[in-house]
Amino acid sequence: METPTNLKSNGSRLWDSLMEMAQHGATEKGGVCRLALTDIDRAGRDLFVSWCQEAGCTVSVDKMGNIFARRPGKNPDLPPVIMGSHLDSQPTGGRFDGVYGVLAGLEVVRSLNDLEIETDAPVEVAVWTNEEGSRFAPAMVASGVFAGVFDLDYGLSRADLDGKTMGEELARIGYAGDADASYKAHPVGAYFEAHIEQGPILEAEDKTVGVVTDCQGQRWYEITFTGVESHAGPTPMNRRKDALLGASRVVDAVNRIGMKHAPYACATVGLMQVFPNSRNVIPGRVFFTVDFRHPDDAVLAAMDAELRAEVDRIASEIGLQNDFEQIWYYAPVKFDADCVAAVRKGVEAGGFSTRDMVSGAGHDACYLAAVAPTGMIFIPCVDGISHNEIEDAKPEWVAAGADVLLHAVVETSRTIADKAC
């Protein structure tokens, strides 16, 4: 039986839910600060769980704090079609990054209830813990544990800058679940993630929906340069071992590496801690991070080699101790052809303007793609701005993405049932 072509979500209800969730961690500039596993994150999780229960879902939480809200299907033994993203934000984040994918999934469940549609396979909405990696590095750690990229002990031991671990904070806020945090214990029939583009292309080209075919790879590094703290007055310039000077030269090198591999490379130093951070003391130690991204794994490897060579050279020239660690890597991802096709059918059914896209940002879908058929849906964001309090989207974009997601989920649920026969 063909999937109905007139499937529509309730866009105004979805918008209202997004605005209500945005009150948890609301900032003066209209954004959100809802860091992972804070009390504010707990409040957002509690609200989501209450909405899911009202929609008739059964809610479970695994040992990494990932939340799964399940709507039963005709055949409860089939693996579910899961929709999801994250509720945590950047310190100066927006109202749509991550949370849109979660609440679009919830809207699909609510719309299925309204339309009295019983899917062939069960449908679930997932909240993945600490996608942003802002409080606990690396990013996407909980979906990584689920997909078998990291083990559970590694995930729970990730600590913030104050030394608080994810395991401790999950227990503190009441989201240290009992369920096994692995796809082996929680099979996935397919996974879809709806998200704002976080870039300017869709809006600039007047396209409503992006069909995501691939996601670029990433490498994250943590580097500590250690020199000698000394008085800023009596210490001659040629006798200094200035850790901040070394870090500054690496910042320039990172930018040059990114420019060398343009237009697809992205290279960023986004965090730096200077010790002792006193105006009249030569810095003796600097901790900083590097983020490399590229859709071609060979180019990403070349960028890695160039960074390592530059860091070694700079540390040697200044006389610094160099502690260099790559803390995170994943290769570029190609999404499942059938899931991409299901998204295309949803776009065609809704009559939306569209284009294919490669995601420049990392998403939980990148890890899920290794263990289940996976697809992504992009909608525009105003001026392409994200990870910013002024991040914005239009209600019609929000509704369009949910319509496409609804269609893709119903289509894929049917396909899973057909393959099981």
Res 378 pLDDT > 80: yes
pLDDT over 90 (residue 82): yes
Quote the pLDDT of residue 20: 98
Question: Distance between CA atoms of 125 and 103, rounded to whole angstroms?
Answer: 9
**In sequence order, which residues have a C-beta less than 8 Å from that of residue 38 and are 6 or more positions away?**
135, 169, 173
Task: Find out whether 342 and 166 touch, Cβ atoms under 8 Å.
Answer: no
Q: Is 379 within 8 Å of 209 (Cβ atoms)? A: yes
The better pLDDT of the pair 6, 158 is held by: 158
Residue 6, pLDDT score = 75
Across the range 100-113, mean pLDDT stands at 98
- In this structure, the strands spanning 333-334 and 209-215 are antiparallel
At residue 421, the pLDDT reads 76
pLDDT of residue 68: 98
Does residue 1 surpass a pLDDT of 80? no
Cis, bond preceding 138 (omega within 30 deg of 0): yes
What average pLDDT score do residues 404-419 get? 96
pLDDT band, residue 5 (cuts 50/70/90): low
What pLDDT, on a 0 to 100 scale, did the predictor assign at position 302?
98
pLDDT at 59 exceeding the cut of 70:
yes
What is the pLDDT at residue 264?
A: 87
Whether omega before 263 lies within 30 degrees of 0, making that bond cis, reads yes
- Tell me what the mean pLDDT of segment 393-401 comes to: 98
Of 187 and 295, more confident: 187
Domains of the chain are 11-216+332-420 (3.40.630.10), 218-330 (3.30.70.360)
pLDDT band at 127 (very low <50, low <70, confident <90, very high): very high
CB 343 within 8 A of CB 375: yes
Mean of pLDDT over the chain: 96
